[in-house]
């Protein structure tokens, strides 16, 4: 009888120790045999959330070479940032064209979208790394995490500079109205992301 009680207490103690040890894990993970290990908290993810003053993006990449993992993560984050800027300026352009009267709205919109795409690509030169972390996986591979940001003012200044170089667009461009709509879209994006 004492042997059963001893094994029961030992088993209970072992379960408590294992339970406490598993609670000390630094990374929140869950395992699913079909998917593998799922990270619930991604480093740099919070630093990669856009708000009303900054466009931000985050990314992660894995490689057997640490610098390659970091470079891949940076490239992915830049691509996401360009997509975000392009998407936002497309919304601004659509609203701007709808609120103003143009002789040829379709032509203006097309030229303006091309211009904003150029600005989004050029703005990547002004990015700031907001967060950068790295880790080593059990299999020896490296994982790079990164978040990048660019100021909305850099994007607006880029648009204004490009428009000042294009006389046809400059005629139909109301800087104050465009900036008002741009700021409204930034506020809307921030609210959608919980800021």
Phi, psi of 36 (to 5 degrees): 105, -155
Within 10 angstroms of residue 50's Cβ, the number of other Cβ atoms is 22
Proportion of the chain in helix, strand, coil states, percent, rounded to 5: 60, 20, 20
Report domain extents, the chain. Answer: 1-40, 42-192
* Cβ within 8 Å of residue 149, ≥6 positions away: 47, 48, 54, 55, 56, 57, 81, 127, 128, 130
Give pLDDT < 70 ranges for the chain: 1-41, 102-103, 194-195
pLDDT at 32: 44
- Identify the CA nearest to 162 among candidates 95, 93, 100: 93
pLDDT at 102: 66
pLDDT at 27: 42
**What digits encode the pLDDT tens for the residues 117-145?**
888 888 888 899 999 999 999 999 999 99
pLDDT at 50: 92
pLDDT at 98: 81
Tell me which H or E stretch contains 114: helix 105-123
pTM: 0.74
């Amino acid at each position: 009888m004492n042997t059963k009680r001893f094994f029961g207490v030992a088993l209970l103690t072992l379960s408590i120790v294992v339970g406490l040890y598993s609670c000390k894990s630094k990374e929140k993970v869950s395992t699913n045999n079909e998917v593998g290990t799922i990270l619930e908290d991604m480093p740099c993810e919070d630093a990669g959330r856009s708000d009303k003053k900054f466009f931000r993006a985050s990314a992660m990449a894995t490689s057997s070479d640490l610098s390659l993992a970091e470079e891949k993560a940076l490239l992915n984050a830049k691509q996401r940032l360009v997509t975000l800027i392009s998407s936002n300026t497309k919304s601004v352009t659509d609203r701007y064209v709808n609120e103003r009267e143009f002789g040829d709205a379709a032509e203006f919109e097309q030229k303006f979208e091309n211009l904003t795409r150029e600005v989004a690509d050029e703005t990547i030169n002004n990015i700031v790394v907001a967060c950068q972390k790295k880790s080593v996986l059990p299999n020896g591979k490296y994982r790079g995490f990164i978040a990048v940001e660019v100021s909305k003012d850099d994007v607006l200044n880029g648009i204004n500079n490009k428009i000042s170089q294009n006389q046809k667009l400059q005629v139909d461009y109301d800087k104050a109205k465009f900036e008002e709509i741009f700021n409204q879209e930034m506020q809307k994006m921030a609210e959608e992301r919980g800021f």
